[in-house]
Amino acid sequence: MKMKRWLLGTYLTLVVASYGLAQYPAGTVQLDSLHSKSLENNMGEHTTRAVAVYLPPGYKNSGIRYPVIYFLHGFFGDANMLKPIAGILDFAIATQRIRPFILVIPDEKTSYEGSFYSNSSLYGQWEDFTAIDLVAYIDQHFRTLPDRDSRGITGHSMGGYGALKIAMDHPETFSSVYALSPGALTIVREYGPNSETYRELSAARTLEDVKKTYFGQVILAFAKSWSPNPQRPPFYCDIPFEYAGDSLIVHPEVLHKWYANMPVHMIDSHLQNLQKLKAIKLDWGRNSGERFTQQCRMFSERLENVGITHFAEEYIGTHTSGIYTKDGRIPQQMLPFFDYYLKFE
């Protein structure tokens, strides 16, 4: 119930954020769909995905080409979130926080709630869909500036994770990245073996059992994304930690697969790619809970230790507060960041 209230609060925040913004020149939200061979799978995940596109005021008749910001939604989210935040984008343009731009939100919600924007051998190549198929589609169908210097990637929570990981893997496609309260950067707190999450998962026999806890669903999504296994019903994935009674059992080969997909542990193998990025920023709310503050600090410290210039900011707020409002992180921090670092026509 607590998680449901949190999700309801996030939705209401989006609705309130959009209320009263109609006095600004309005852009348009166009809902498209994209079929991707990268997502072909035998597990029932849909290969045709909704894609929401924000076009700035005056787009239809301007003849101008625009930079594109790719926004990745969080766990439980989908492309529909663009509608309630479009007014904030209008506000940011009208008040010159950013010059006119295109923003794209793909629907990457799965049967297990979130793809984590990762390539899974069983459930679809979600990273390839995002970084390759989606970008090609947007460049073909809209007046974009089809160059890495005019593409940025961002997202919130699971989307912040996806933005960092995809930017680290694809600096030839995206020049800059801003992660809003990213998760899944490493294994800490509720993600870790000493939490109750793995005890509960070890006792789970059905998907309904897993759905009883938020973190159980998140860990299962990690496993389906990073360590799928067609020989392991009923969930068809491997998990690095399990309990037999009170005894913890660690599966290091599975843990290695998880680390290969977690940005804190990707830094050493991605140093050259990180150096190619024009700008990197992440932020997080001080009151988000230790799982977020600890992993974000770890990621920033590791970047600093290997000489990667970046911005990292802890602000007073929770995991969702002060983001989707006129005075929040999106119009006041994230969009001005891209206005500075992206190349406009």
Sign of the alpha-carbon torsion through 28, 31, 34, 40: positive
Q: Is the pLDDT of residue 5 over 90?
A: no
Q: Identify residue 217 by its one-letter amino acid code.
A: Q
At residue 98, the pLDDT reads 98
Tell me: do 113 and 243 sit in the same domain: no
At residue 189, the pLDDT reads 80
What letter does residue 25 receive in the DSSP assignment? P
Tell me: do 85 and 214 sit in the same domain: no
- Which region among 108-122, 126-140, 154-168, 190-204 has the lowest average model confidence (pLDDT)? 190-204
Tell me: do 166 and 145 sit in the same domain: yes
Tell me: do 193 and 316 sit in the same domain: no
**Helix ranges restricted to H, the chain:** 2-18, 59-62, 82-94, 126-128, 135-141, 158-169, 196-203, 207-210, 214-226, 252-259, 263-266, 271-276, 290-305, 329, 335-341
Sign of the alpha-carbon torsion through 282, 288, 291, 294: positive
At residue 10, the pLDDT reads 55
Tell me: do 99 and 7 sit in the same domain: yes
Q: What is the CATH number of the domain that holds 9?
A: 3.40.50.1820
Question: What is the span of the domain harbouring residue 279?
Answer: 2-186+262-341
What distance in Å separates the CA atoms of residue 153 and residue 175, rounded to the nearest whole number?
8
Tell me: do 155 and 63 sit in the same domain: yes
Tell me: do 49 and 124 sit in the same domain: yes
At residue 14, the pLDDT reads 56
At residue 337, the pLDDT reads 98
Count: domains in the chain: 2
